[in-house]
């Protein structure tokens, strides 16, 4: 039985933010080439569909949706200095969200256990009423709302390992105790949010976990964070679904990041989350492409995650050795989170 799904489509190439933009169609082209090499006995290819207005409006305002739709009438429209649309961007954005929802539905029905939505544009910076940071719609946030409204999900763990803090995702769920949002990100860095003291508010207080890492962190530091913060809190939360905003811009080759993670590091983080999903969520874990702008590093890193998805029971978990330089940060985050997770 095929238990892993892939969402990818040539239409995702149509979003073109302009020449020399880092979030370029070639990012998806190299992943299309990778997908063609996958064994269809191990991965099921799922077609995308456009998300509906109702689905998008779970996270975004009517005014913002109408603004993006209007950009279909002009060759170029700049939402901000980094986030530019073309005539096809609105449709591609809907298709990216809808592709992720198709994957979640296939998992909810039991057809698949896990999957990877290889879509673009990315989404975790998108706010309720504006896009930013290359992002149009917040795909992972719409997906979490979909799981709660349509699939009966009670506890959703969103892990975001992109080099940039997912400010849009955090804002979407900062008052929601049914969604645990955890982020490992370079700090201080764009978009400026993600301090360890940002822990959510109201009923959601304690359900936001930020690990603001200094530049230069690599596999050992990320493993330490996973072992001491992410996995213990994730296990105590006991999610019935895990969603991963998988940005590969912490890679040591990435032109937009200052981190030192390797393909092996991403694969190890994926392995740890697959294990967490097996123990608490019936194996249900969906990876979603966010950043990652060095083409060779992106391809190798995605391939490493796919390999772990194929055989999750054979994966190695993060090493408990190394990364001592960030121990003061680890202790600080644990001290901040202790009132919510120590009982």
Give the active site residues.
125
Length of the chain in terms of residues written = 343
CB 274 within 8 A of CB 234: no
Q: 């009517």: which residue's tokens?
A: 62
- C-alpha 71/C-alpha 86 separation (Å) is 7
- C-alpha 232/C-alpha 31 separation (Å) is 33
**Maximum Cα interatomic distance, the chain, rounded to a whole number of Å:** 55
Q: 């105790």: which residue's tokens?
A: 177
How many C-beta neighbours within 10 Å does residue 252 have? 17
Smallest CA-to-CA distance from 161 within 331, 67, 301 is with 301
User: How big is the CA angle at 267 (ends 262 and 271), to the nearest 5 degrees?
Assistant: 150
């Amino acid at each position: 039985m095929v238990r892993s799904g892939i969402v990818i489509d040539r239409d995702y190439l149509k979003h073109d933010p302009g020449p020399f933009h880092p979030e370029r169609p070639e990012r998806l082209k190299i992943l299309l080439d990778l997908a063609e090499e996958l064994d269809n006995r191990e991965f099921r290819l799922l077609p995308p569909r456009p998300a509906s207005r109702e689905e998008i409006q779970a996270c975004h305002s009517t005014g913002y949706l109408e603004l993006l739709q209007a950009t279909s009438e002009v060759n170029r429209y700049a939402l901000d200095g980094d986030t530019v649309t073309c005539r096809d961007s609105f449709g591609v954005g809907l298709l990216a969200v809808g592709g992720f929802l198709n994957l979640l539905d296939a998992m909810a029905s039991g057809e698949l256990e896990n999957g990877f939505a290889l879509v673009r544009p990315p989404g975790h910076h998108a706010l309720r009423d504006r896009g930013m940071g290359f992002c149009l719609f917040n795909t992972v946030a719409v997906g979490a709302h979909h799981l709660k409204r349509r699939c009966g999900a009670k506890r959703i763990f969103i892990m975001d390992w992109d080099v940039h803090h997912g400010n849009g995702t955090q804002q979407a769920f900062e008052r929601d105790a049914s969604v645990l949002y955890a982020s490992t990100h370079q700090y201080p860095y764009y978009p400026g949010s993600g301090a360890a003291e940002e822990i959510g508010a109201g009923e959601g207080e304690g359900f936001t976990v930020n690990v603001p890492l200094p530049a230069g962190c690599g596999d050992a530091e990320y493993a330490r964070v996973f072992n001491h913060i992410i996995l213990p809190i994730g296990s105590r939360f006991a999610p019935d679904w895990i969603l991963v905003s998988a940005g590969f811009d912490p890679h040591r080759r990435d032109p937009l990041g200052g981190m030192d993670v390797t393909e092996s590091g991403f694969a190890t983080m994926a392995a740890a989350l697959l294990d967490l999903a097996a123990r608490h969520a019936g194996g249900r874990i969906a990876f979603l492409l966010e950043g990652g702008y060095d083409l060779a590093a992106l391809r190798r890193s995605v391939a490493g995650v796919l390999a772990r998805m194929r055989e999750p029971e054979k994966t190695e978990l993060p090493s408990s050795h190394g990364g001592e330089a960030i121990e003061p940060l680890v202790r600080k985050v644990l001290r901040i989170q202790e009132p919510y997770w120590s009982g």
